[in-house]
Structure 1
């Protein structure tokens, strides 16, 4: 995504180069604090301090905490949907393989990263911040659901998946993702090592379970592809 830039100034070359680096540093600092403290408890002064700039500098790029949050979500999650759509369209394997692939790509790029903590924030605070909830629904939830819908429709159109109600089937795919993100940023942070969940194995089992319910014809099970 494009990061906003302030009006040009007459600063020296060194000073200007430093200012150009600041939006990315502010987004990184904001992501850290939003995930650590939540939306309500994060103050813009803290974000600026962690990025090593003044609050005034932060407001040159992001006029409010809400706009800063939107930029964080777009930079880390929403801005990547076009890239994922292109990958999905270019995928040449079966729809079952595509479903496996998308789960593991999602885990690698979002689920296993700090950005997955945004989902826990939304689940915890959306009711208190309607503007945040509305933005996240439009730019992340709606876009993600449409991508899943296209994967399932691909399998149904080819005859690989049986016909199902897509409006509800998308939640079968979303549920394991939401569980992993909330687990990682809540109880999963404090469970003993012997009880630690292995995300990759959980994903393999969940996708295998989905496909047994989606496939039009039951065939002898084979090991799922490894990505």
Structure 2
């Protein structure tokens, strides 16, 4: 994974987002501790002191990576659920594909690994990630599952655990891509997601008739 070094071609207002994107790339590539703010500035193509115009320190950059690059996905997912007019089954598929598509970004997909590796050293960052992203995302999935149950499309189940069963295969795939390397050699993200959907929506047991 390479973090390109470039000079600014965008308006000044875009610089914080570019700094965050460069920071995330370096955090994933080198680790948080090994990344210096001057490294981030260099990767973003700005002067050494520019990040300090927007962020007090490296931990504030870490927090902003979560709040500015990751949390907006929750708001987009919320819009999908709130505006849905079709079946709960189709909504479930739409939400899972939205999440999968967002996390296909090479840097964003490495965030679960990054949080496992670095989050324990930064409880404020970990709590922001857990409350703002994990718990909010779980709540979205729970809403869709509850809707399916209420409409008679889904079998009633223990939703406290069902949301984790739904999320776990996705998180496992993301972690495997960046560390465990236990996915098939010819790993196909689309086939993987489709298999998740097939098993979750139809189950493993053959149903006569």
TM range (shorter): 0.7 to 0.9
Determine whether 1:197 maps to 2:190: no
The whole-number CA distance in structure 1 between the counterparts of 2:97 and 2:125 is 28
Q: With structure 2 as the length reference, what TM-score do the two structures score?
A: 0.85
Determine whether 1:207 maps to 2:197: yes
Q: SS at the partner of 1:55?
A: coil
Q: Flag structure 2 segments of 5+ consecutive residues without an equivalent.
A: 1-7
Alpha-carbon offset, residue 196 of structure 1: 2.3
Alpha-carbon offset, residue 219 of structure 1: 7.9
The whole-number CA distance in structure 2 between the counterparts of 1:49 and 1:144 is 34
The whole-number CA distance in structure 2 between the counterparts of 1:106 and 1:76 is 14
Determine whether 1:59 maps to 2:52: yes
Equivalent in the alignment of 1:186: 179
Matches within 5 A, 1:1-227: 19-188=12-181, 195-213=185-203
Seen in structure 2, the aligned counterparts of structure 1 residues 129 and 176 have a Cα distance that, compared at 3 Å, is same
The whole-number CA distance in structure 2 between the counterparts of 1:200 and 1:92 is 25
Rg larger in structure: 1
Seen in structure 2, the aligned counterparts of structure 1 residues 114 and 36 have a Cα distance that, compared at 3 Å, is same
Task: Report if aligned partners of 1:148, 1:170 keep a CA contact under 8 Å in 2.
Answer: yes
Alpha-carbon offset, residue 107 of structure 1: 1.6
Seen in structure 2, the aligned counterparts of structure 1 residues 212 and 18 have a Cα distance that, compared at 3 Å, is closer
Q: SS at the partner of 1:185?
A: helix
Alpha-carbon offset, residue 187 of structure 1: 4.1
Seen in structure 2, the aligned counterparts of structure 1 residues 200 and 57 have a Cα distance that, compared at 3 Å, is same
Equivalent in the alignment of 1:223: none
Task: Report if aligned partners of 2:77, 2:98 keep a CA contact under 8 Å in 1.
Answer: no
**Structure 1 vs Structure 2 CA RMSD:** 2.4
In the alignment of these two chains, the number of paired residues is 199
Alpha-carbon offset, residue 48 of structure 1: 1.1
Alpha-carbon offset, residue 66 of structure 1: 1.6
Q: With structure 1 as the length reference, what TM-score do the two structures score?
A: 0.78
Equivalent in the alignment of 1:225: none
Task: Report if aligned partners of 2:109, 2:174 keep a CA contact under 8 Å in 1.
Answer: yes
Task: Report if aligned partners of 2:27, 2:35 keep a CA contact under 8 Å in 1.
Answer: yes
Task: Report if aligned partners of 1:48, 1:55 keep a CA contact under 8 Å in 2.
Answer: yes
